[in-house]
Structure 1
């Protein structure tokens, strides 16, 4: 399997047919448009230079307004309708509906009434919320004066008396009280409240001593409080609290009404998909060029779908079109969108390649080879048959429940990872660590990880050598395919000779063969790795640097020792957990041990599975891809139907 062969299409049709054609192409879901309106594109294509940019239909503004209303309604309802959670919700697929069925439903969809009802209730809730906030603010302010036990309106009735109500710094409290008593003959001073660094006071004096009291308070930083109330603070607080309770009750009634709209969620979602499709369809025009009557469309399509596209065009607009297919030119290689096509096993690992970077159109798809090595490495790192069995059961159940192709690929990845883990767990004799030993059962094993560590280490390095050599082999294939046979000899064969010679010498087999292979390989590197340098000094420097590169290869191979380290870590941690669980005395053991066993081993499974996932990917990205892979491809994103809430079928 490989990168799907693509070609470019050019489609001309009448402007009057554009809307029908775009609807058909959206249902076709097999083309990606090229933006002809970009300046560079129009300059390079001679026959397009006299065309003008196509535009979005004026009706699109109304579609966007409707979509905005629907977004509001759905988001608003989401606050009040219980959301699904747990495994069942995670595995639930989107509802499927045909495109024709969607259009039929929209003819009698009353979403606008639902929107109006929800908007009305939102306005009411906002009004109530604002009122509650206002009363809460008033209460917070009045709480500071709660100890003032008379209506505020009485203060306005004083004839021969002046009053002072406000705040000042707490640090002056004792000094001010003392001076007030000494200097004011006819007055009353009262501290109503104390908070943080301030005190809240009320004072009144005879009119004859008003100026003296003002001067005294001013010296201590007195600040007047603005209290525009009539009633006593305690009474006001009670009244406002009662009003807040009324608001809360009214809110509960409105929220109850909103929850009744749960049955309208689906009609809103369907309307959302309908208008979103119209908007997507309209904005596609921003890729096209046109004259007064003709629209020009260009894009990418898989070579195998050419006939299907032509049939779809004929079925939609008859013979009123011009359609041409052209092969990918050398200048367009980096622009071609990438679509991978692999078998049932390899396709599950495509997400790993995409997570790093899709290949360029001129490269090879590394997925089939990556899938084999990732399968081996993941299981070797997790290496517990019990953990693998859990992954297999959980993934198989998810695959059975889920129908969405992309989600199924993810679950298949973990299914294969679980199978590999079971295989390596059986080789190592690990079933939830050494659990079976506690029941007097000694599981069969091919390698004992507690004794044969050196054997596992050698096996890990052997996998590393094979992995690196395969990467170099792919590099040679790419160079030979591009007609660069000499480069394949200089950059691959020399490394094969060098590395094979070094390995033969290290393991002490092959006699003098290893030494001669190493010498030939190093001389070859010295003479060829600087060949592109313009000067003799540059060639010599490049050659020496190429020879130094052997340390990088040795480092790459040694890094595969993580296959040993992570595999042993999983097993030894599992053994330690079993020991902890077994230490509880009877009868507590029979109650706590099962709970602890499940919890601790699930934790160990998750942590080490995550580590295996990351480190198995790392070996692919650095040690493997570094030998041949450039990447940088852009994913094929076809012009298709919206699937935000509903899976729309053709």
Structure 2
């Protein structure tokens, strides 16, 4: 319908009233602050120079610490005691609580005790994990030594022999054994194990040849294995595995005990919203400037809320304030946050517009027109009445469960898409493809997708021309409204004449009227499209390039053939799926058919519904918006209460 009219307000108040006012404005949810601490803004306003930046206050750090603790507790609980999620749980609205109730609940909230207990359990779990990791590392180091079956402490009890236990590169195996046997007279060497890179060696020599053996092994890069263990490697591994099992049991017990805190999750969620609201309120001060005792606040609010805003200020802090409302200047238009207001049909389609870009404050809201065409195009591309019926049923069920405004708009959009899909599906005679034909019933149809392809193609192009003409008309309206009548004639009327003339010529109707309109339009484009260029050559080049733009319009119109293509694809794939299911012999077919039908058609519905969603949006963004829409506006984001987990009501 329209973009809500905004104005800028300037509010002065004593610093002692700030906290109370922010609490009221947070519940009001109708103002968006302007960051006066931005140096660019201060430069443009002489009255703001000399003021200092406001600060969040001393309590901010404490609130942040509390919020950090709560986040940890919630994440920790979600890891070890996750909430069960079902389809119906996704449709549940957030719990609602008033701000006064929230404050009252916090007086007896034991969230801190819950955090302390969970933190202790985290410390225990980390300690158990570290112990387990250490033991697993020890086992990994001992695995290649299991062939040494004597207690390792026995190596330290030898009187006349020196043991060597260690590794060297596998490439030295043969030469090391050869040289050892050749050079050491009183000793032996044994290869205990091998892996891809190393060999694991045990050597024993008489103490008189210790130095000779050390020199020999050193030459081959011998790396000594620690002999600090007592038992044999195999026994040590068995012992460590036993300890790991005990640690795992303890770990499971701790994790099971964490599940007992699932009932405390509600206290944590309430505490999160409480402290998050306090932080949001304190963070608002980062937008303000102040003198010794006075706070300066500036922001945007809808014009229709001026009286209500001033009444709230007066009620909260008395008469000790100054407030002024200023109309939006031309220079500020690009900075004004955008709030849209539409009827119940168009509102769900605002999300499609937001994905592209919000309009500028000086533009028109294209949502109502976008809603009509998106509604029509989506159904024409999905075009199966059975699929549309499913979409309507699912969205109707969801709407009966959900009260949240934003989520209801999503399901309303889904329902409108289903209604359009059912309409076009019935028009084409498609009910889960040609399902009814297998039962001897041929549903009535106005357009047959197997024989009337040319008619559907022409209908798609007609919709495209109509859509583009409306986009041009909106551009003309914007130009006329802004006082640029000549631009409306040069950039809109000339294209209307050119396009209408070319269509009449192609259709061979209207006699010479089409030729006249086309020629007048082309001449108009040649003479006007280069008007902004300062040179004659530039004007001529701009005019020629402007005429060349007709190819772009031709491409835009042909692009609407996707309305035919995607509609046929959905139906033909559905028909193919029905044929595949019917190919199974009896009686197997009667067992598999329901399962296959449900699975295959669900897949077809999801894939083509997504494709229709994307391509219906594409026709709006590229073919329609390119004719008039600039975009670039920023959505109105009022200062409000936190509602991440719990909806706080006034």
TM-score interval (norm. to shorter): over 0.9
Corresponding residue for residue 646 of structure 1 = 646
Kindly indicate whether the alpha-carbon contact (under 8 Å) linking 2:153 and 2:227 is maintained by their aligned counterparts in 1.
Answer: no
Structure 2 Cα separation of the partners of residues 498 and 191 of structure 1: 92
For the pair 1:64 / 2:73, whether they are aligned, the reply is: no
Cα root mean square deviation, aligned: 1.3
| 418-427 vs 161-170, which moves further | 161-170
For the pair 1:554 / 2:554, whether they are aligned, the reply is: yes
Structure 2: 5+ residue runs without aligned partners? none
For the pair 1:115 / 2:115, whether they are aligned, the reply is: yes
- SS in structure 1 at match of 2:386: helix
Structure 1 Cα separation of the partners of residues 566 and 180 of structure 2: 80
Structure 2 Cα separation of the partners of residues 223 and 243 of structure 1: 29
Structure 1 Cα separation of the partners of residues 248 and 219 of structure 2: 46
TM-score (norm 2): 0.98
Corresponding residue for residue 290 of structure 1 = 290
* Matched ranges for 1:62-461 at <5 A: 62-461=62-461
Query: Could you give the per-residue CA deviations for residues 538-563 of structure 1, whole angstroms, max 9, x where no partner exists?
Result: 11111111111111111100110110
Structure 2 Cα separation of the partners of residues 227 and 583 of structure 1: 72
Corresponding residue for residue 530 of structure 1 = 530
| 313-322 vs 332-341, which moves further | 313-322
Structure 2 Cα separation of the partners of residues 250 and 442 of structure 1: 67
Structure 1 stretches of 4+ with a deviation exceeding 4 A read none
Structure 2 Cα separation of the partners of residues 280 and 463 of structure 1: 48
* Matched ranges for 1:454-533 at <5 A: 454-533=454-533
Query: Could you give the per-residue CA deviations for residues 372-417 of structure 1, whole angstroms, max 9, x where no partner exists?
Result: 0000100000000011111111111111111111111111111100
- SS in structure 1 at match of 2:261: helix
* Matched ranges for 1:18-33 at <5 A: 18-33=18-33
Query: Could you give the per-residue CA deviations for residues 413-466 of structure 1, whole angstroms, max 9, x where no partner exists?
Result: 111001000000000000000001000001000000100000001000000000
Structure 1 Cα separation of the partners of residues 642 and 317 of structure 2: 23
Q: Please state how far the C-alpha of 1:219 moved relative to its aligned partner.
A: 4.0
Structure 2 Cα separation of the partners of residues 246 and 607 of structure 1: 50
Query: Could you give the per-residue CA deviations for residues 570-593 of structure 1, whole angstroms, max 9, x where no partner exists?
Result: 111111111000000001001111
- SS in structure 1 at match of 2:560: helix
Structure 2 Cα separation of the partners of residues 83 and 227 of structure 1: 50
TM-score (norm 1): 0.98
Q: Please state how far the C-alpha of 1:142 moved relative to its aligned partner.
A: 1.4
Structure 2 Cα separation of the partners of residues 179 and 293 of structure 1: 92
* Matched ranges for 1:540-619 at <5 A: 540-619=540-619
Q: Please state how far the C-alpha of 1:8 moved relative to its aligned partner.
A: 0.8
Structure 1: 5+ residue runs without aligned partners? none
- SS in structure 2 at match of 1:188: strand
Kindly indicate whether the alpha-carbon contact (under 8 Å) linking 2:153 and 2:228 is maintained by their aligned counterparts in 1.
Answer: no
- SS in structure 2 at match of 1:412: helix
Q: Please state how far the C-alpha of 1:179 moved relative to its aligned partner.
A: 4.5
- SS in structure 2 at match of 1:534: coil
Q: Please state how far the C-alpha of 1:173 moved relative to its aligned partner.
A: 2.8
Structure 1 Cα separation of the partners of residues 580 and 246 of structure 2: 57
Kindly indicate whether the alpha-carbon contact (under 8 Å) linking 2:7 and 2:328 is maintained by their aligned counterparts in 1.
Answer: yes
- SS in structure 2 at match of 1:144: helix
| 158-167 vs 582-591, which moves further | 158-167
- SS in structure 1 at match of 2:561: helix
Structure 2 Cα separation of the partners of residues 579 and 129 of structure 1: 56
Q: Please state how far the C-alpha of 1:180 moved relative to its aligned partner.
A: 3.7
Q: Please state how far the C-alpha of 1:89 moved relative to its aligned partner.
A: 2.5
- SS in structure 2 at match of 1:530: coil
Query: Could you give the per-residue CA deviations for residues 285-340 of structure 1, whole angstroms, max 9, x where no partner exists?
Result: 11111111111111000111112211211221121211111110111100000001
